[in-house]
Amino acid sequence: MAGAHKALAKDKGRRPWVFPVLVGFGSNQGDSETVCRDAVERLSRWDGFRVVAVSSLYRTEPIGYTDQQWFVNGVVLGETTLSPQDLLAALLAVERLFGRVRTVRWGPRTLDLDVIFYGNQVMDGDNLRIPHPRAHERRFVLEPAAEVCPDFVHPVLGLSVREMLHQPAVQSQDVRRWKAL
C-alpha cells in the first residue's frame, strides 16, 4: 500500500492523481461501535489516503440474511492516490486485522469495508466492481452517504446520492441515525 503511493509520488516529480472515494463500513459482531471507530481511525493513518468526512453511525436492520444482529454502518468520504485494486487490497487487509472471516453471504461480520465510489470511474473486474453494484439499492449506504456527499452523481445512473435515496429500488430496511462518529 505505502509502496504504491511512494512509486506514484516519485513519478518524475509530478504530484500523483488524487481521487475522491467513498468507503462503506459496517459491523454486527463484538463491540461494533468500537470496531467501526477503530477502522475509521486506521483509514485516517494510511499513506495515500486522506479522510475528508465521516458520516454518523447508523443502526441498520440486516438484509438478505436476516437472522442476525442489527449492524452499525456508516461511510468515509476520502481522497486517495491508491489505485482501486490497491485500495481494495488495503481494505481487505484491515478486515482481516479485525478478524473478518467470510462464511455466510450477507451474514454476520466483525468488519465489512467496501469501495462504493472511486471518483467517476466504472470498473467491472473479477474481484472489484465500481461503483459498488448494489449501492444504489442500499439504504444503509445511501443514508450516511447523503450526509457527507449528497450531490455526488453515480457515474452510471446519472443520479445524485440524494436522488438515489428516494428511488423505488431502495430497500425499505430500517436505518436509524444513531451516533456521531
Active site residue 114: yes
**78/23 Cα distance (integer angstroms):** 8
Active site residue 139: no
- Tens-place pLDDT, residues 105-124: 666 788 999 999 999 999 99
**30/147 Cα distance (integer angstroms):** 26
Sequential DSSP letters for 34-75: HHHHHHHHHHHT-TTEEEEEEPPEEEE---SS-SSPPEEEEE
pTM score > 0.95 for this model? no
Domain that holds residue 58: 2-10+18-179
- Options 100, 129, 162, 177, the catalytic residue: 100
Average pLDDT for residues 129-135, to the nearest whole number? 94
- Options 37, 59, 109, 138, the catalytic residue: 109
pLDDT at 12 over 50: no
Give me the number of domains the chain comprises. Answer: 1
Query: What CATH number is associated with residue 140?
Result: 3.30.70.560
Collect all residues with Cβ–Cβ distance below 8 Å to 155 and sequence separation of at least 6: 117, 120, 121, 122, 131
**47/58 Cα distance (integer angstroms):** 28
Burial tier of 145 (Cβ tally within 10 Å: 0-12, 13-18, 19+): buried
- Options 37, 86, 112, 139, the catalytic residue: 112
